[in-house]
Amino acid sequence: MIMTTLILGLVLGGTYALLALGLTLQYGIARIMNLAYGELTLAAAFVLVALFSGLGLSPLAAIVLIAPAGYGVGWLLYTVMMRPLVRRSGASGRLEVDSILATFGLLFVVQGVLLVIFGANLTSISYLDRGVSVLGVSVALNRLIAFGICVVVGGGLALAMTRTRWGLTMRAVALTPGSAPLVGIDVNRVARQGFALGTALAATGGASIAMYQTFSATDGVIFTMKALIIVIMGGVGNVTGALIAGLALGLVETFVATAIDPGLTLAATFAIFLVVLLWRPQGLFGRG
């Protein structure tokens, strides 16, 4: 029983961690608080379902297409929508409020489009839905594949952020966007890359959710909320922190769903959020 919860929790947590990674890139590096994040995730999930049931494309092949498409969408969103807000706010603190409002509008646009195209019904696909024994626990193969994707992408990103020069630039902008230009960093370009990469991660996360979970066009807020809380738990802009916090949230949620009630998972998320706010608002792994 405990083993089942542990393994299913870790598998779910992998997806959450991936989603949170994208959000922490967008907020930490591009300074855009993206409330439409969950809607972008869902859009990718719907695209995967459409590619799978419409064209018969294997979900793994579809993800290879969806991730770069997500990057493109993010790049476009940043250039068209966010960049003017960044320019307008200059050094003042307006960007946070403006980006919250703009993406709040975007949330309704994307949700509206999804509702019109795909309808309000619960959607799911059946793909590799057979059990595989992991340490004596039967886990659906599709969940394992989704987890594998999260480990590869998330782990790769964490390595790139901490070990490469590109990652160093990213972290410099996340730490002090004001001083980064002094050492020759093009903050605008890095911010655009961060935002686009974040959207690509949202798309990858959404596509892997579609492989094993039922979802509907109105679930976006829940995904955004969970990703946001993981980001705060891990510390804004902290990739490793987001990975650990994501896995932790997946565990807690699976535990609450099996031991108490599946209807209370958001309540569990909020409970964690409250504890973090009251105890360590700078994040469990943040400094200061």
What's the closest the beta carbon of residue 65 comes to another protein, in angstroms? 25
Q: Which is nearer to another protein, 97 or 175 (CB)?
A: 97
> Which residue in 234, 93, 96 sits closest to 161, CA to CA?
234
How far apart are the C-alpha atoms of 277 and 233, rounded to whole Å? 9
What's the closest the beta carbon of residue 112 comes to another protein, in angstroms? 3
Q: Which residue has the tokens 């394992």?
A: 144
Q: Which is nearer to another protein, 84 or 178 (CB)?
A: 84
Q: Which is nearer to another protein, 59 or 241 (CB)?
A: 241
How far apart are the C-alpha atoms of 285 and 277, rounded to whole Å? 13
CB of 128 closer than 8 Å to CB of 140 = yes
Residue 258 burial by CB count (10 A; 0-12/13-18/19+): exposed, middle or buried?
middle
How far apart are the C-alpha atoms of 183 and 191, rounded to whole Å? 16
> What is the distance in angstroms between the CA of the first residue and the CA of the last residue of the chain?
39
What's the closest the beta carbon of residue 183 comes to another protein, in angstroms? 27
What's the closest the beta carbon of residue 97 comes to another protein, in angstroms? 5
CB of 214 closer than 8 Å to CB of 124 = yes
Q: Which residues bind another protein (CB under 8 A)?
A: 33, 35, 81, 84-85, 88, 96-98, 100-102, 104-113, 115-116, 221-222, 224-225, 228-229, 232, 261, 263-264, 266-267, 269-270, 273-274, 277-278, 281
Q: Which is nearer to another protein, 136 or 281 (CB)?
A: 281
What's the closest the beta carbon of residue 264 comes to another protein, in angstroms? 6
Amino acid at 14: G
Q: Which is nearer to another protein, 34 or 204 (CB)?
A: 34
What's the closest the beta carbon of residue 178 comes to another protein, in angstroms? 16
What's the closest the beta carbon of residue 278 comes to another protein, in angstroms? 6
Q: Which is nearer to another protein, 172 or 222 (CB)?
A: 222
Q: Which is nearer to another protein, 116 or 182 (CB)?
A: 116
